[in-house]
Amino acid sequence: MLYTSFMKTKAYFANLHPAWPIERQREILGDADATYTDKLGPTALKRRDPADLKDRANLLRPTSRRAPETIRVASPVTFAFSRADFAMAVAAAHARMATLVFVAPGLTLPSAPEVETYDKLLASFDRQNRTRGLVMTRAERAAALIADTARRAQIIKPYWHLPEEEWPKAKLLMMAGPRPGVPMSPANAKRELGSRHLAQAEYQRQLNREAGRAAARAKKKGTPNG
């Protein structure tokens, strides 16, 4: 999935399913331009009325704006109470020209509906409800792992371009590791963040350009450089 610079990314969280507490959803969805959260009490959860999902209604409200957007959701069962509710929510998203990304099953539903993908999402919805989220397919497990790796890579992204003597690669990989004492693999870090050597080289070029501009400004003002 390619995200263009003009496409706004939103994330939706809801405590609709016991296997998906909101904190777990936040872990795999990562950052977004805007977030929407429905945290229902026991009575509302038992009632299972889509009208109680106030923030989802805000997220999917009709708009005349035609700019594309992406809505990231952890799982189909965190997006809707039932099949009928799911269909209604998907239709509302498509009316906004939104692309829906369901991270755990690893399925993307573009603003132009795709029947095959929609059927897979319904199957995932049914399976997670039937098994209370305890059973995931191989594809769903792989998608969840990829999402978690991408999230952990963001932890070290601000330091990836900095010099090795300041931020050793081994230290960064340990910071982004899947569990304490186990580092992220170099291959995963490179896949998510690109070549560190190239990032460092570009950073040094930027520093050199800025130093050159500063020297030129100082010379123009007639002040000494040294």
Query: For residue range 62-95, what is the model confidence (pLDDT) as tens digits?
Result: 988 878 899 999 999 999 999 999 999 999 999 9
pLDDT for position 224? 56
pLDDT for position 218? 84
CB neighbours of residue 91 within 10 Å: 11
Q: Are 106 and 150 in contact (CB under 8 A)?
A: no
| CA pair distance 75, 40, nearest whole angstrom | 17
> Where does 8-136 sit in CATH, by number?
3.40.50.1390
Q: Which residues of the chain have pLDDT under 70?
A: 1-7, 113, 131-137, 139-141, 143, 222-226
Q: How many helices (H) and strands (E) does the chain have?
A: 9, 5
| CA pair distance 21, 15, nearest whole angstrom | 6
- Candidates 15, 53, 67, 59; CA nearest to 35 is 59
Spell out the domain ranges in the chain: 8-136, 160-220
Helices 186-193 and 196-221 meet at what angle, rounded to 10? Answer: 50
pLDDT for position 5? 42
Q: Which residues contact 203 (CB under 8 A, 6 or more apart)?
A: 161, 162
Residue with tokens 């997220």: 59
Q: Are 176 and 208 in contact (CB under 8 A)?
A: no
Q: Which residues contact 185 (CB under 8 A, 6 or more apart)?
A: 173
Q: Listing from the earlier edge strand, what are the strands of the sheet with 8-14?
A: 34-38, 8-14, 69-73, 98-102, 107-109
| CA pair distance 196, 214, nearest whole angstrom | 27
pLDDT for position 199? 93
pLDDT for position 67? 80
Two tokens at 166?
Answer: 């300041």
